[in-house]
Amino acid sequence: MGRSIADLAELCAKVEAEPGKKRKAELVGSFLASLEENEIGPTVLFLLAQVLPESEDRSLDVGYRTVRKAVRSGQMTLFGEDRVSITEAYDTFQRIARAEGAGSRRTKEALLSGLLSRLGEMEREYLLRSLSGEMRIGVNEGVMLDAIARASGVDLETVRGAHMLMGDVGGLAALALSRGGPGLRAVGIKVFTPIRPMLAEMASGVDEVIAALGTAAFEFKLDGARVQLHKEGGEVRIFSRRLTEVTGSLPEIVRIAQTEIQADRFILEGEVVAYSDRPLPFQDVMRRMTRVHEVVGSSQEVPLRLFLFDALLIGERELIGTPCQERWEALQRVAPAHHLVPRIITSDAKEAEGFYRTALEQGHEGLVAKDLGSPYTIGKRGRRWLKIKKSTSLDLVIVAAEWGYGRREGWLSDYHLAARSGESFEEVGKTYKGFTDEEFKAITERLLALRTSETRHVVQVRPEIVVEVVFDEVQRSPKYPSGYALRLARVKSIRDDKTAREADSIETVARLYEEQFRTKGRLADGSSG
């Protein structure tokens, strides 16, 4: 029958009890090496609390109420003698994700309760942890890649390199264990397989950028949704930064890729921005990105513009290893100028500042500065790309919310905001500012679907919703275990294009706190008062 959920739960208990990452990786690697090929991917996803691959356009859509009902129903059934296999459990998750339409909620609940009823207490606990997105056994993506390297006998750098190109860590593990080093080294860019995007670090201003990069390309930082355009022959597919396909929501961008880009095969990267006479808020972009019905009417209501800024593949030529400027020149040869992001190259601070002011005046966020010689570093955030924004902001995760009062009565409003800290999250503030009444209502429904527990006033939720938070400064605070709090925080937008793993880290919060003292004084004891 293969390995069972009981075997997997025993592994989880052993891994959770081990304090060291090396030993955790050894245990996971040994287990992976014992699996059949069709068990490897589901096991990896289970341990990482992903359940379904990141690129999967469906989700389980199983909220707190559904889980609670399923647990009650499952507990009413006596445990059987049969063992639930890993592949059987994964097949159940697939069926839950596929359930749609009238009665789908009852179907999902019945499938989940049926599965839970056949599990022992420890198996049930770890399965529910995985469903909640919080395994808390110390296996993050880094530990998993180490485990895959150990299980397959392939060096870690080769595993990491293949992972950046594949994205799907479950599929990566299956490939590594079945085909080893040669299989991973053969992994390359493939059209219609989305690639993890290169990311930029925050910079305090133009002077910092020029000190770090010298002569650099400065591009408008747009308040839109990052996309990858893939084309081969007559077929075009578009992917979000989360690697999810969004082709059906963006018909006008598909037409541009089919008719205006002068190449039959490519992977290009850009930003989709909602526009009238000026850029519209990010939330309007996301309304379009998530629309699957009435797309034609939506495209008239929220028109989009495409701005391209990078080329990863054109024709048969892979470009990720070539310098930034070469990739730009290749992009210029196939894309019309009106679909390219505004850009200058300079080492002159005055010229860059003027370009920055122009970007802000035209309704954009700021600038992204790029090292002209930098290759495309897949899935990495580094100092080769630096972003300059008018307001300081962080991408944080909502981990809890409080019931409002007065005008906000009946809505979850005061949102507990947290930065990433390893596998967990540390709170750095709260805010109820930034939403309209309609947005309060909508996010209340979303948060209740993610509820894990609650008291009279506070609802704890799975850390899944990422919000961009603008604030005035970072303060020292004894109130939060993190030691930091954001002053005058307000939500700028909901970043549905980002996962909780892409939220800013507590180390970034600490760095922003220290950077404030470039222009401010500091008390003698080193605190901010």
Does the pLDDT of residue 277 top 90, yes or no? no
- Per-residue b or e along 298-324, where b marks 16 or more CB atoms closer than 10 Å to that residue's CB: bbeebebbbbbbbbbbbeeeebbebeb
Q: Nearest-5° angle of CA 274, CA 277, CA 283?
A: 25
Q: Under 8 Å CB-to-CB from 295, ≥6 apart: which residues? A: 248, 249, 251
221 tagged catalytic: yes
User: Rounded to an integer, what distance in angstroms lies between the CA atom of residue 203 and that of residue 438?
Assistant: 34
Q: How many CB atoms lie within 10 A of CB 326?
A: 15
Per-position DSSP letters for 33-67, written without gaps between them: HTS-HHHHHHHHHHHTT-SS-TT-S------HHHH
Calpha distance 352→346 (Å, rounded) = 7
453: β partners: 460
- Residue 235's pLDDT band (cuts 50, 70, 90): very high
Question: By the 8 A CB rule, do 116 and 70 touch?
Answer: yes
Residue 527, pLDDT above cutoff 50: no
Q: How confident is the model at residue 23 (pLDDT cuts 50, 70, 90)?
A: very high
> Which CATH architecture is the domain 5-185 placed in?
Orthogonal Bundle (1.10)
Spatial separation of the C-alpha atoms in residues 157 and 150, rounded to whole Å: 12
158 or 472, which is more confident: 158
Which amino acid, 424?
A: S
- Does the pLDDT at position 226 exceed 80? yes
Residue 217 has pLDDT above 70, yes or no: yes
Show the tokens assigned to 339. 């679909």
Per-residue pLDDT band for 41 (boundaries 50, 70, 90) equals: very high
- Tell me the backbone φ, ψ of residue 310, rounded to 5 degrees: -155, 155
Per-residue b or e along 250-268, where b marks 16 or more CB atoms closer than 10 Å to that residue's CB: bebbbebbeeebebeebbb
Give the pLDDT score at 472: 77
Q: Is residue 75 very low, low, confident or very high in pLDDT (cuts 50, 70, 90)?
A: low
Residue 56 pLDDT level (bands cut at 50, 70, 90): low
* Section 339-360 average pLDDT: 97
Question: What CATH number belongs to 199-389?
Answer: 3.30.470.30
Decide if pLDDT at 287 tops 80: no
pLDDT tens by residue, 99-124: 888 888 889 889 998 999 899 999 99
What does the pLDDT read at residue 524?
Answer: 45
Give the C-alpha separation, 17 to 9, whole Å: 12
Whole-number CA gyration radius for the chain: 24
**pLDDT tens digit string along 405-425?**
777 878 898 999 999 998 899
**Which of 24, 108, 221, 498 is an active site residue?**
221
What is 393-518's CATH topology?
Answer: OB fold (Dihydrolipoamide Acetyltransferase, E2P) (2.40.50)
Q: What is the pLDDT of residue 73?
A: 67
Segment 300-305 shows an average pLDDT of 81
Beta-ladder partners of 425: 420
Residue ranges per structural domain of the chain: 5-185, 199-389, 393-518
Q: Under a CB-based contact definition with an 8 Å cutoff, are residues 46 and 130 in contact?
A: yes
Picking from 336, 339, 331, 337, the residue whose alpha carbon sits closest to that of residue 315 is 331
Residue 528 has pLDDT above 60, yes or no: no
Higher-scoring residue by pLDDT: 260, 477: 260
Strand order of the β-sheet with 265-274 is 235-240, 225-232, 265-274, 304-314, 317-318
Of 155, 1, 166, the closest CA to residue 175 belongs to 166
How many whole angstroms separate alpha carbon 313 and alpha carbon 493?
Answer: 32
pTM for the model: 0.73
